[in-house]
Amino acid sequence: MIEIKNLHKSYPIGKDSLHVLKGLNLHIKEGEFVSIMGSSGSGKSTLLNIVGLLDIHDEGEYFLDGQKIENLDEKKAAILRNKFLGFVFQSFNLIGYKTALENVALPLYYKGIGRKERQKIALEYLDKVGLKDWAKHLPSELSGGQKQRVAIARALVTKPKVVLADEPTGALDSTTSSSVMEMLKDINREGMTVFVITHEEEIAAETDRIVRLKDGVIISDELTHKKAKA
């Protein structure tokens, strides 16, 4: 599903440039539940941005669903994002003036689906994350856990191939965190590829495969015990 070969990325800082990713090789197959671990500055967010088509790599190759990603202009990237990827952010990134339902329906709007159909699908997904009764509420009227569930519903609504979660539990307490992780597990069980970025060991332990990143290189890539046992 995701194949990365010798990926490099550096950011210009003044006259110098900061080499963030130094030749990553990573292969994630369809239906995997992978976490990327690393302290801040390890390059994990940069990796996610590149995988999520929010940023462009300098060197190396990136294949998403067999399609080579290169010479991507903004428009193509937007269409691919809409088609293949669902995002879950640490700070939820819901649009404040839209209700839960409208937030979930937004990716469908950019997919060009009609209003009635949009609302129907969005409501289905809100039901799936247990928030059907909160459909008409604004994000400000929801708890952190509820917001993240709305964000997950929004990430899933276009039936993407990969769900990218950037510190999905970073802003949540431990109880809500585990319920969000349960939800991601459920999604994975249904066959979707889930890609989690975290710096918390407990969260990473919930996934099937942990990739550790340090200073822009992969230092370890192993299956968790859970997966190994199974």
Site of interaction with other proteins (CB under 8 A): 49, 52, 54-55, 74-75, 78-79, 81-83, 87, 89-91, 93-98, 102, 106-107, 109-111, 114-115, 154, 158
**Smallest distance from the beta carbon of 194 to other proteins, in angstroms?**
17
Closest CB to other proteins among residues 82, 224: 82
Closest CB to other proteins among residues 17, 91: 91
**Smallest distance from the beta carbon of 85 to other proteins, in angstroms?**
9
- Give burial (CB, 10 Å; 0-12/13-18/19+) of 203: buried
- Taking the mean position of all CA atoms in its chain, how far away is CA 219? 22
Separation between Cα atoms, residue 75 and residue 80, nearest integer Å = 9
Residue type, 1: M
**Smallest distance from the beta carbon of 70 to other proteins, in angstroms?**
17
**Smallest distance from the beta carbon of 220 to other proteins, in angstroms?**
26
The residue with tokens 């649009």 is: 95
Closest CB to other proteins among residues 63, 89: 89
CB 168 within 8 A of CB 196: yes
Separation between Cα atoms, residue 221 and residue 218, nearest integer Å = 7
Closest CB to other proteins among residues 36, 210: 36
Reduce the DSSP state of residue 42 to 3 states and report it: coil
